[in-house]
Structure 1
Amino acid sequence: MAMHQFNKGELAYWLGVIAEGKADPAEPVPQRFIDALLLLRCIEIDSSGKPEVTDKGRLALHMESAGSYDA
């Protein structure tokens, strides 16, 4: 399995871009992020080839927006 090198928050950022449908055709979501989000099952590719956020992806976005738990 390939190891991905991402900075903190990058996957959440690109997942948010996909969820909001704001992917710019001039600057699409980089393939390495699509691959990682597919592997994590946060997105799936629909019949038209467009990435679509799954329930797990929506949960991840909700958890990210809630912030980290500080005990």
Structure 2
Amino acid sequence: MVGLSQGYDNIVVRHEQDDANKFSVWYFKSEQLLAVDAVNNTKAYVLGTKLIKSGQCIDKDKLAKPEVECKPANLLRQ
């Protein structure tokens, strides 16, 4: 887990297409990303760390779609 989920009011659960054992739970307070639980998913852990530190806003709808690759260019709100 990266970050602290205390005070969250919304979660997004993301399952990866390439591996049924990989998933992540993203915790938000309004639009602010607070924490990420990444299970067997190093990419989500690293990305979550970067996004929490930068404070950038994520498109939650895209995040929830496993067909959208988990990388900043695809997930940042425009």
- TM-score of the superposed pair, with normalisation by structure 2: 0.26
Q: Between Structure 1 and Structure 2, whose CA radius of gyration is higher? A: 1
Higher strand share: 2
